[in-house]
Structures are given as structure tokens and as C-alpha cells.
Amino acid sequence: MEKLQKNIDYKFNNIDLLKQSLTHRSVGKQNNERLEFLGDSVLGLIISRELYQRFPLIDEGQLSHLRSHLVRGQTLAKLAKAIQLSEELILGQGELKSGGFRRESILADAFEAVLGAIFLDSDYSTVNRVILNLYKELLDEANPETSLKDFKTQLQEILQKRGSDLPQYDLIKTSGKDHDAIFSVRCSLNNENIQVEKSAKSIKRAEQACAEALLVMVSKL
């Protein structure tokens, strides 16, 4: 876990807190769900305060939308990958066999849990520093005007300008129990012969993840 601590620029006093934050519920009762709950709240507060200070002229609705853009699951999973968090995840056998260390929802939850663990291990000032360091590039690039348009809207606008067909979204699979279902969606651009598949805890999130991936691909055409 030394590598992860180096990547987040924080050394734990109580290494057991870090270990718990990386332990998925598939392992047992001593897992990271409570730390995830705490980390979610801490992250929301710190990002909200930072946006409030950075953008004094935008209203509450714009601030809320911009925050959602920064703390959504896809963003958290990307940050988790950037710090190579997947290498330290502690998963049950079932999740290991199914490649759970690559699943965005698991990575996002563990990322929040690590932040909750840092808060308990130190103080608000310290976790504030860690979060703002991890988010530096995203915050510097944050644009209220762009973030107000979700990925599906952005993709649709680009395709319309090009005179291309609109994307087609299809639910292709639902897995897991009802209270913890994972939805897999395929998005196709037929005239470009491109398609992507993404999974999330809701159909809407999966569609947005597909649109985000297609935005990157379309921009390179």
C-alpha cells in the first residue's frame, strides 16, 4: 500500500483504515461501505466550497450541476485509475473472478472510501489538501457552460452539426440483485460504424458513460 499512499501524497497513521477503505463488501462485514458514505460527504463539501469560491457569478443551479459533473461515478473511477487504486483493492473470490477490480462502480466507491479514511486518520485541512491536489487538473479545466450540457446532449449537438445520424442506446444486460443491479448499455453510431458498451448502477448513468466515450472517439474522426 506504500505505492498508493505515495500516489495520493498522504501517509496513513492507522494503516488499518486504509486497508478497510480498499475492502469490498464481497469480502465480508468489515468492508468499506461506511467509509464510502463518509468520503462521499467530505468530497461533496470540499468540491462545493471550491466551486463556490472559483465561480462567484454563477447561480446555485449551475454550481450544483458543475459539482455533479465532478463527483459522478465516472469521474471518481478515472481518478481511482490515475492513482492505480485497483492494484490495492481487496475483493471476494466472486468479484476477483469477474474482474471486479476493473469495474467503475467498485473503483468509484473505493475512491470515496479512501477519502473518508483520510478524514478519520487526519483532519479536514489535510483531506481538503489531498482532494484538491487530486482534482487540480479537473478543477482547472472546469467550465460551467460546458458542464451544464450532459454528455448525451453534447454528443447529439456535435452529430447534428455534422449531419450525422443520432446515436442509438440499447439496454443489453442487467446483472446483480435488484437493490444492487448493474445495467449494461450499448450505444451505436450506425453511419460511423462505431459502438461502445458501458455499465453503471442506472441506465441513465450507463448511457451517459457511453456518450462520454463516443465524444472522445468522434472528436478524433
Catalytic residue selected from 112, 121, 207, 212: 112
Per-residue pLDDT of the chain (221 residues; tens, 9 = 90+): 899 999 999 999 999 999 999 999 888 888 999 999 999 999 999 999 999 999 998 888 888 888 988 998 889 999 999 999 988 999 888 777 777 777 888 899 999 999 999 999 999 999 999 999 999 999 998 877 665 567 888 888 888 888 888 999 999 999 887 777 899 999 999 877 889 999 988 898 889 889 988 988 887 76
pLDDT (0 to 100) of residue 98 = 75
Domain's final residue, options 90, 113, 144: 144
- DSSP assignment letter at 220: T
Single residue among 144, 168, 197 that ends a domain in this structure: 144
Pair 173, 74 in one domain:
no
Q: Where are the beta strands (DSSP E) in the chain?
A: 168-175, 182-189, 194-200
179 and 163 together in one domain: yes
CB atoms under 10 Å from CB of 107, counted, come to 22
Q: Which residue in the list 40, 88, 95, 109 is annotated as catalytic?
A: 40
Nearest to 186 by CA among 162, 160, 165, 213: 213
Are 183 and 135 part of one and the same domain?
no
**Domain end: 103, 119, 144, which one?**
144
Q: Is 112 a catalytic residue?
A: yes
Domain count, the chain: 2
Judge whether 212 counts as a catalytic residue: no
116: phi then psi, degrees, rounded to nearest 5 = -65, -40
List the alpha helices (DSSP H) in the chain: 2-8, 15-21, 33-54, 60-71, 73-82, 93-97, 104-121, 124-134, 136-141, 144-147, 151-162, 203-219
Query: What residues contact residue 212 under an 8 Å CB cut-off, 6+ apart?
Result: 74, 151
Domain that holds residue 123: 2-144
User: The domain that contains 160 carries what CATH number?
Assistant: 3.30.160.20
CATH (domain of 76) = 1.10.1520.10
* Helix, strand, or coil (residue 173): strand
Residue 41: per-residue pLDDT: 96
The reported pLDDT for the residue numbered 200 is 86
pLDDT of 5 reads 96
Q: Indicate the angle between helix axes 73-82 and 203-219, nearest 10 degrees.
A: 60
> Do 15 and 120 belong to one domain?
yes
Q: Are residues 18 and 127 in the same domain?
A: yes
User: Based on the domain organization, do 96 and 19 belong to the same domain?
Assistant: yes
pLDDT of residue 149: 65
